[in-house]
Amino acid sequence: MTTTRKLRPATQLVHAGTLRSGFGETSEALFLTQGFVYDTAEAAESRFKGEEPGFIYSRYANPTTDMFEKRMCALEGAEDARATASGMAAVAAAILCQVKAGDHVLAARALFGSCRYIIETLLPKYGVDFTLIDGSKAENWEKAIRPNTKALFLESPTNPTLEIVDIAAVAKVANSVGAKLIVDNVFATPLFQKPLELGAHIVVYSATKHIEGQGRCLGGVILSDKKWIDENLHEYFRHTGPGLSPFNSWIMLKGLETLPVRVRQQTESAAKIAGFLADHPAVSKVIYPGRADHPQADIIARQMTGGSTLVAFELKDGKKAAFDCENGLEVVRISNNLGDSKSLITHPATTTHKNLTDEARAELGISDGLLRLSVGLEDADDLIEDFDAALKAAK
């Protein structure tokens, strides 16, 4: 792009970061290569010294992956990014690259299961202390912060109960001790929430979800300012090798082109389905960030510009009703994944959150009747008819 005008997200997602080869191809090229050749020994020397720009090895950087990273930076308003092989590779690298024995990490307890493993199980093995709190109340962060807190970690909305954390308030707490706030922004998508603008220092994604959008490959990305990446992530990333393959980068890059169209449609359908479920006699509760009855609607209005492609709801008759509903669905498929073009439903208590104790599940509001729905690209009326029939069967 040669324009100096400030372009809107949908336009950036089609054009930003494009690197054209000498052939002038329209679509982004897939550079499926491990390495790069140098015209002379002197050229190799100066590239290794960093005096000449260019690629060295695809564990460090690759032109297709570079396009995906640059397009993500344009969307997120970040200075720099690194794409990773999965969302968990992004979370692990973002935390591990900056902590050492004796440091403390503070996180909300409502986290994706593998993120809890990194904080609760992995970090202590390396002498890093942690505290998990109810992140929905800003004062809990203030109480638990320590002078040696190095990183704070949260997701908002949370999985699976779509609870909200006040990102701007937590960023202030982080700044009070010079710690870095990492936000896992998967559920909000980069379109509906801009953690860096709210004061967060680092944003991570599982690109596996909405960015990929069609259930094919895994990926992740870490975004931050150039200084933090240069000083913390750059060397860690080169030498531990969590980078995204060029092929998967290419899928993600093309996924970004349709992200706004997909997410807008999925959100519109999710709102419609949430409305249908809220009025249904078998449903005791619907949690949807786009509804005025969300308990944290005031924070949502401040920090998000859209609802969600996910809906959480609770059936009055507990586990049996939840299972009957899942088994009665014919279009919506049972799966633990989300952000797919196919609508997917999961029963968190017996799948994604089965490893938590009953007590921990209760703290998070994960009851036996709770279901989490990820809304896809099917016609919303077909999805509503599917639920209508499944909930009749559940009775």
Contact positions toward ligand PLP, by CB under 6 A? 86-88, 91, 112, 115, 155, 159, 184, 186-187, 206, 208-209, 218, 220
Least Cβ distance, residue 86 to ligand PLP (angstroms) = 3
217-249 as b/e: b if 16+ CB within 10 A = bbbbbbbbeeebbeebbbebbeeeebbbbbebb
| Residues listed for the chain | 395
What angle (nearest 5°) sits at the alpha carbon of residue 210, between those of residues 93 and 330?
130
Bridge partners, 251 (sequence order): none
Q: Among all chains, which residue has been given the structure tokens 């949502």?
A: 300
User: Environment class of residue 13 by beta-carbon count within 10 Å: exposed (0-12), middle (13-18) or buried (19+)?
Assistant: buried
* DSSP class per residue in 276-331: HHHT-TTEEEEE-TTSTTSTTHHHHHHH-SS--SEEEEEETTHHHHHHHHHHH-SS
Cα–Cα dist 45/130, whole Å = 43
Q: Is 189 left (phi over 0), alpha (psi -120 to 50) or beta?
A: left
User: How do 370-374 and 344-346 pair as beta strands?
Assistant: antiparallel
Cα-based angle 217, 220, 225 (whole degrees, multiple of 5): 155
* Helices (runs of H) and strands (runs of E) counted in the chain: 16, 12
Does residue 38 contact residue 55 with C-beta atoms inside 8 Å?
A: no
Report d(CA 160, CA 239) in Å as an integer. Answer: 34
CA distance 65 to 59: 10
